[in-house]
Amino acid sequence: MDRKQMCIANVQYKQPSADGARQSKNLLRYLTYRESRDEKARYVAGRERWVDCGMGGSVSDIIQRCDDLKSDHVLAFSLVVNPNPDLIALVAPEERERFVGELTEGVVDEFFEARGLDTGVEFSYVLHHRLTDDPQAPGLHDPHTHVVLPGTVYDEEHGGRVPLFFSRNRKVNHIELLHDVTERAISTQMERYVGPDWEQRIDALLAVREREQGIVNGEPHGWIHDDAGEVWPVWCGTRRTDDTTAAIGTYCWYPAPTEDDEDALKLEFRPLLAGLPPEQAAFFAHAFAREMAGDMDKLRDLADLVGGLTDTEREQLIAEMGGYEQPEPGIAPDLDL
């Protein structure tokens, strides 16, 4: 896996103006009461939403601390620590909250230590448990944290607080340093929580996905029409979700314009049926590609049909169709809708 894709760590700031204060207050309330744009916060009885590492444990406390510790130009910084969902999938579900919390505290502490700020920096963070909205793999657990940092930091040399800043120039690039620290921190966390073979497991998963994309080297299984009237080829195939599950769906080239090429395309997968054992997904994807006969509506119907079956019923259907040894082209499996 590309190490830059292992964990996202982005920094933003609010100005110490009336508008900046209002934006900060709205952001803190949003982070407290929402998991995402579409989901309310998941509260646990008797437990505070915010983890207080010096900036407070409630919206009012954090707002006051931000005002007390602001600089002339910064009311507060906000930092997002978001591990890649593919990595999170390898962590036991009951350990993921602690994993991300430890990762967040480690990243903040190590980052400022690397900057020579031995006294540390006050911060508070909140953990969100949203699900991914990635069109290729929607609904995966995507825990991440939002961190609030003050506008100033205590400096022993000056004997008081000085403005906190994030430089991004050729001499000092704190953003690049933050990313480097984050990569090292999540590598350490993965080895502790998953084991020393975590990277090999991720590389194996990505290699499987690359092989699965090879289906587009064959003849298309169908065609779709976009709003502009253009016709695009579609292939029915699988995409491995994690170590134990896969999805059935379609591969198609979608517009992905860049600064250099506004007509650039990107091959992407769109799932129709997820959560199947990989061998089972491969079997039905092969059968669907043959049975759809170029009809996208029939493909969706086939996916709905199989998706409505229990695990036992799917295994029975596979047995009726000749077992995991795929039927010969002359044999018509019974997928009558």
Cβ neighbours of residue 242 closer than 8 Å, sequence gap 6 or more: 86, 89, 90, 205
Q: Which two tokens stand for residue 329?
A: 């082209």
Which of 34-43, 113-122, 132-141, 258-267 tops mean pLDDT?
Answer: 132-141
- Please state the rounded mean pLDDT for residues 84-99: 96
Are the C-beta atoms of residues 156 and 147 closer than 8 Å to each other? no
Cβ neighbours of residue 110 closer than 8 Å, sequence gap 6 or more: 181, 184, 185
Reported as a pLDDT band with limits 50, 70 and 90, residue 45 is very low
148 has a pLDDT exceeding 80: yes
Instruction: Report the pLDDT value the prediction gives residue 118, as an integer from 0 to 100.
Output: 77
Are the C-beta atoms of residues 61 and 165 closer than 8 Å to each other? no
35-49, 78-92, 133-147, range with the lowest pLDDT: 35-49
Partners of 315 in the beta sheet? none
Instruction: Report the pLDDT value the prediction gives residue 5, as an integer from 0 to 100.
Output: 77
46 has a pLDDT exceeding 70: no
Which of 302, 273, 266 is CA-nearest to residue 287?
A: 302
Which of 243, 238, 303, 302 is CA-nearest to residue 273?
A: 303
- Please state the rounded mean pLDDT for residues 301-324: 93
329 has a pLDDT exceeding 50: no
161 has a pLDDT exceeding 80: yes
Which of 323, 241, 244, 249 is CA-nearest to residue 288?
A: 249
288 has a pLDDT exceeding 50: yes
331 has a pLDDT exceeding 50: no
Instruction: Report the pLDDT value the prediction gives residue 119, as an integer from 0 to 100.
Output: 78
Separation of alpha carbons 103 and 188, rounded Å: 9
Q: Which two tokens stand for residue 235?
A: 């292939």
- Please state the rounded mean pLDDT for residues 146-169: 90
Q: Which two tokens stand for residue 242?
A: 């994690």
Cβ neighbours of residue 297 closer than 8 Å, sequence gap 6 or more: none
- Please state the rounded mean pLDDT for residues 303-312: 95
Which of 72, 74, 149, 81 is CA-nearest to residue 117?
A: 149
Query: Cβ–Cβ contacts within 10 Å for residue 322, how many?
Result: 13
Ramachandran angles phi, psi of 62, nearest 5°: -70, -40
Residue ranges per structural domain of the chain: 3-196, 210-320
Q: What is the pTM of this model?
A: 0.86
Domain 3-196 falls in which CATH fold?
A: BirA Bifunctional Protein; domain 2 (3.30.930)
